């Protein structure tokens, strides 16, 4: 069984990542977990558009029979590595970084934390939620 971990930000367009992850999970007989790791105080969600976006993504995760987890952490790579180990994750779905220097991206930062049997799938921004795979 291949469990899929889908990493989302505070953007509604991350729906495409959830759909992509669900299609991967269905094809492998595994389960999907959607996670948002906040590097900020969760109190900030009450006063921003982020709460609306995360609620939207939560509803999409529920629609696709998935758990949605919000975790506050100052160490995203270590938190992801822990979640991967605890949930027997074999594939991680992430969006493409917008950072000019990919060496400063979350994707690059946590690759050293992963076992060789964990596949990172980066979904380009031009893949929308209506034709994910």
Sign of CA dihedral 123, 79, 9, 2: positive
What CATH class is the domain 3-123? alpha beta
> From first to last of its 133 residues, what are the pLDDT tens digits of the chain?
689 999 998 899 999 999 999 999 988 888 999 999 988 776 776 667 888 899 999 999 999 999 999 998 988 888 988 999 899 999 999 988 665 455 555 556 666 666 678 888 889 877 654 544 4
Between the CA atoms of 60, 66, 70 and 75, what dihedral angle is there, to the nearest 10 degrees?
A: -120
- In Å, how far are 30, 42, 45, 79, 105 from 111, measured between CA atoms? 22, 26, 28, 13, 10
Distance CA 113, CA 94 (A): 16
- CA gap 122, 105 in Å, rounded: 12
pTM for this prediction: 0.83
The domain ranges of the chain are 3-123
Q: Where are the beta strands (DSSP E) in the chain?
A: 3-7, 32-38, 67-72, 89-95, 119-123
Is residue 89 within 8 A of residue 3, CB to CB? The reply is yes
């Amino acid at each position: 069984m291949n469990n899929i971990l889908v990493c989302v930000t505070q953007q509604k367009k991350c729906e495409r990542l959830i759909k992509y992850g669900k299609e991967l999970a269905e094809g492998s007989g595994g389960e999907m977990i959607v996670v948002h790791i906040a590097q900020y105080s969760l109190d900030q969600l009450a006063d921003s558009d982020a709460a609306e976006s995360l609620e939207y993504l939560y509803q999409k995760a529920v629609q696709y029979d998935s758990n949605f987890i919000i975790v506050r952490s100052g160490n995203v790579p270590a938190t992801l590595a822990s979640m991967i180990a605890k949930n027997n994750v074999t594939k991680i779905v992430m969006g493409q970084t917008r950072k000019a220097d990919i060496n400063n991206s979350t994707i690059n930062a946590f690759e050293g934390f992963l076992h060789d049997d964990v596949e990172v799938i980066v979904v380009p921004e031009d893949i929308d939620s209506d034709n994910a795979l």
